[in-house]
Homo-oligomer: A and B are copies of this chain.
Amino acid sequence: MMTAAASGRPSKREAIIETAERLFADRGYDATSTALIAHEAGVPAGLVFYHFATKLDLLLAIVHERPTPGEVLRTAARGRSVHRRLRAVVSSMAEELERNRAARIIVFREAQARPEIAERAAELFDEATTTVAEILSGAEDVVAEPDRVRTAADLIVSRVFLDIIALGQADTATKRHAAMIDLIEESLTTPHAE
């Protein structure tokens, strides 16, 4: 007997998760009723609670069942120069966040009031920062010390996360990213005048 997933038939559990993700991102967790999720997912109301014991469990499933930005970053192209690596890192992060926009919004928005999720948000942020720092420090032309590389990584990750979770002005993002890359690049490739 094949599972729903293996058979290609979209499992109802998946449908619930995906619908919930979209709705939670659009209207917020509290403002989304389980009945609405069921309705929009095309499943009976009771089924939500067959698959998820509570509404919070459904939220946690969304929050944990996505690849982390860090994982994706690790596969980013690694050119020789800081410049190339910066560009690869920023664009692959932006892309990933865009792809999982709903999940990211949810994580960061709900983090404020829910310790469980705050922990996850911190995890995602730290992992991303660490990965970016690693990538940058591997470039040929880096002259900055590890701490400064970390600071640069932190600024980059902060700015790109903020795009998504609060002020997503997609139209101006590319230009802004280029300017940021430029500034950061210089600070990593210029000898630090003490």
Contacts and interface: CB of A to CB of B under 8 A. Distances in A.
Decide if the interface of chain A is mainly helix, strand, loop or mixed. Answer: helix
B159 A154 contact: yes
B109 A167 contact: no
A186 B179 contact: no
B187 A192 contact: no
A183 B180 CA distance: 13
> Which of A105, A109, A166, A193: most chain B CB closer than 10 A?
A166
Nearest to A118: B167
A155 interface: yes
A26 B192 CA distance: 42
Interface of A: 25-31, 105, 108-113, 121-122, 125, 147-148, 150-152, 154-155, 158-159, 161-162, 165-167, 169, 176, 179-180, 182-183, 186-187, 190, 192-193
Number of copies: 4
Shortest beta-carbon contacts, A-B, top 6: A30-B30, A151-B179, A28-B113, A158-B159, A158-B162, A108-B166
Nearest to A151: B179
Contacts of A192: 186
B179 A147 contact: yes
Given A151-B182, A151-B183, A155-B159, 10 more contacts: A26-B113, A28-B30, A30-B30, A112-B166, A125-B167, A154-B176, A155-B158, A155-B180, A158-B159, A183-B187
A186 B180 contact: no
Contact of A155 (B31, B183, B186): B183
